[in-house]
Structure 1
Amino acid sequence: ANAWDGPISLSVVVPSDNFNAAINEAKAKVSNDSNKDLRKGLKDPFKIFEKLSAHFIYRNVNGCMGGISTTIGRQYDRLYPINVARNVARLLYAVMKLIVKKIKISLMPRTRRSLYDAYKRGDAIEFHGKYVNGAHSIPGLKDWFERNVTNPSLSTILSYKRHNWEPQFVALSTIPFHDENFPYSIRDNTELRWEMCRLNYTFQLVDDLFMVHPGIKTKVGKLEKLKKIARRSFHYALQQFNRRMDMCCQQTKSICPRFQA
């Protein structure tokens, strides 16, 4: 809210059991006028409510066909439907540019020089550098830091050669939606980059534009248990994804990496 003047679309996934109470609680948290974190630093604290739209999502406990959930079904219900949430947020906002990243802004570096200073001190690292090493690495980062800021350019093309690379990017809202077959959290966000590669999109490093995420994540924690539950769904999703890509974009198969977990 402090750094983005456009609309903000928020998806909130609430539990299916007693969802009315869950929705009311979530609505109270979103709209609470005393929420200092939400409005911190804004000249007009209530302006946030003019550009924020919140969308609440829950799963029908009886399923689409009205059947009774099985033990396996309930187990899969533990998985957060992250791509459904992403797509709902994208569908219900009105702006042509999209930032594909969850952003929380505080007092952070605002210039490339101050970011480089923080990077050299170890106060800033590549996103998830200690959590999923290499997944968000930026080729030519040192050159980018030291580039002449008076002559900015868009000349650096980044080839998509690694299946686990998940670059953060800004794009038009006409890019594909997330594939909702992919479960949280096995390549649920990476798959969008895979599809963009197969559709022959180009990733380009932009001069003097960056995002900063506060905090450094270091532990996987409970995600490992969720990944075990999700693995079967992932293999199905990957199979369907590859089949769909081969039908639409056979000509790009050789220029993209082999997609895998």
Structure 2
Amino acid sequence: MSGGKHMRLRYYTSMEEVTMVRVWREFLDLIPSYSENLPIFRDISHSMQQCGIRLNKQEVRRRINSYRNKYLVFPLAIFEVEESSPVPHDKTELQEFLRTGKAIPFHKRVCASCHGVPKSKEWMSANETDELSVFHIGKRTGYYVHWEPIYIGTHADPHYDERLSWEGKSDKMPQGYALCVLDYEFHILDNAFLVHKPGIKVLKKDNRRAMLSGKTNQLIRKIIYPELKIMYGMRRGCAI
């Protein structure tokens, strides 16, 4: 990549985010082999502090006891900001952006139900804290039956189907369906979120994407969905 403009771009797949993912994977790896000895919590807490986040150790201890024999992932609330706006550094700044209209929930003007997080209004109004805890436990059912969450998980969770793409839309629907059928819990974090740049997206006509979307829907309906039913079965209230 060349050119000064490109070199000045900030990439938010940063070391802090990589550390965050590793920390939670390390945390999740504790679930099947829980021990009363908790040296790993000191390591996790230290890693979180490097990112400016403190982990609530008592909360983690309590939840590890309850996580045994459960499937779960940690979805993140997603927002998009105006093209001329900087990326908010924390939840407090994000709340100000939301109040002034500089930020909105991701794809609110395109497909609000696709990325709407359970208890999102309560999440957005809750004050920021200096610890990272679970704000709410949701499911991909009811109003959220077509939710396409972006989450922190492990390699043991159902994988993203590489036959699909963002351009063709609905690319995370099969993965979401598998999570629903397996009765996954979605543990929404209170002070963690993602921001999409550049600009706030609005619905507009795109013939190329419409064509790709049609092909994607056909692939899902005729091939991927039958495969998922064989792999994971079916559950009432789950949809692709």
- TM-score w.r.t. length of structure 1: 0.54
Question: Counterparts of 1:38 and 1:151 in 2: how far apart (Å)?
Answer: 33
Instruction: Kindly report which structure 2 residues correspond to 1:131-170, keeping only aligned pairs within 5 A, or say none.
Output: 131-150=110-129, 152=131, 153-161=133-141, 162-170=144-152
Q: 1:203 aligns with which of 145, 165, 186?
A: 186
Q: How does 1:18-97 map to 2 (within 5 A)?
A: 32-34=1-3, 36-40=5-9
| Conserved? CA contact 1:126–1:138, under 8 Å | no
- 1:223 aligned residue: 209
Does the CA contact (< 8 Å) of 2:95 and 2:124 recur in 1?
Answer: yes
Match of 2:160 in 1: 178
Tell me the equivalent position of 1:245. 232
* TM-score between the two structures when normalised by the length of structure 2: 0.58
Within the candidate set 109, 128, 133, 2:107 is matched to 128
1:154-198 CA distance string (max 9 Å, x none): 141012113321122122233222234557625222221221222
How many residues are matched? 173
Give 5+ residue unaligned stretches, structure 2: 16-20, 26-73
SS at match of 2:153: strand
- Letter matched to residue 102 of structure 2: D
Which residue of 2 is the match for residue 107 of structure 1?
86
**Per chain length, whose mean CA-contact separation is higher, i.e. which structure has more relative contact order (CA < 8 Å, sep 6+)?**
2
Q: More strand by proportion, 1 or 2?
A: 2
Higher Rg of the two aligned structures: 1
Q: Deviations over 1:9-37 (max 9, x none)?
A: xxxxxxxxxxxxxxxxxxxxxxx354643
1: CA distance, partners of 2:79 / 2:123:
22
Does structure 1 conserve the Cα–Cα contact (< 8 Å) formed by 2:110 and 2:201? yes
Secondary structure of 2:115's aligned partner: coil
Counterpart in the other structure of 1:13: none
SS in 2 for 1:131: helix
* Amino acid in the other structure paired with 1:258: A
In structure 2, do the counterparts of structure 1 residues 172 and 39 end up closer, same or farther at CA, with 3 Å as the change threshold?
farther
Unaligned runs of 5+ in 1: 1-31, 43-47, 52-93
Q: Is the 8 A contact 2:134 2:188 kept in 1?
A: yes
Distance 1:171 1:103, change over 3 A: farther
Q: Distance in 2 between matches of 1:123 and 1:34?
A: 29
2:209 maps to a residue whose letter is: L
Segment of structure 1 superposing worse, 116-125 or 215-224:
215-224
Give CA deviations for 1:28-74 in whole Å, capped at 9, x if unaligned: xxxx35464345469xxxxx9xx9xxxxxxxxxxxxxxxxxxxxxxx
Contact 1:182–1:238, Cα closer than 8 Å, also in 2 = no
In 2, Cα distance between equivalents of 1:103 and 1:139: 14
| Counterpart secondary structure, 2:121 | helix
Q: Which amino acid aligns with 2:137?
A: I
> SS in structure 1 opposite 2:215?
helix
Give yes or no for contact 2:80–2:103 (8 Å, CA) kept in 1: no
How high is the sequence identity, in percent, across the aligned residues? 22
Distance (whole Å) between structure 2 residues aligned to residue 198 and residue 122 of structure 1: 37
Q: Which has the higher helix share?
A: 2
Aligned CA distance change for structure 1 residues 125 and 257 (closer, same or farther; 3 Å): same
Q: Which amino acid letter does the alignment assign opposite residue 140 of structure 2?
A: Y
CA change 1:220–1:210 in 2 (3 A) is farther
Structure 1 residue 240: deviation in Å? Answer: 2.1
- Between the aligned partners of 1:37 and 1:145, the Cα distance in structure 2 is 33
Residue 201 of structure 1 deviates from its aligned partner by 2.4
Cα distance change, pair 178–96 in 1 and its aligned pair in 2 (3 A): farther
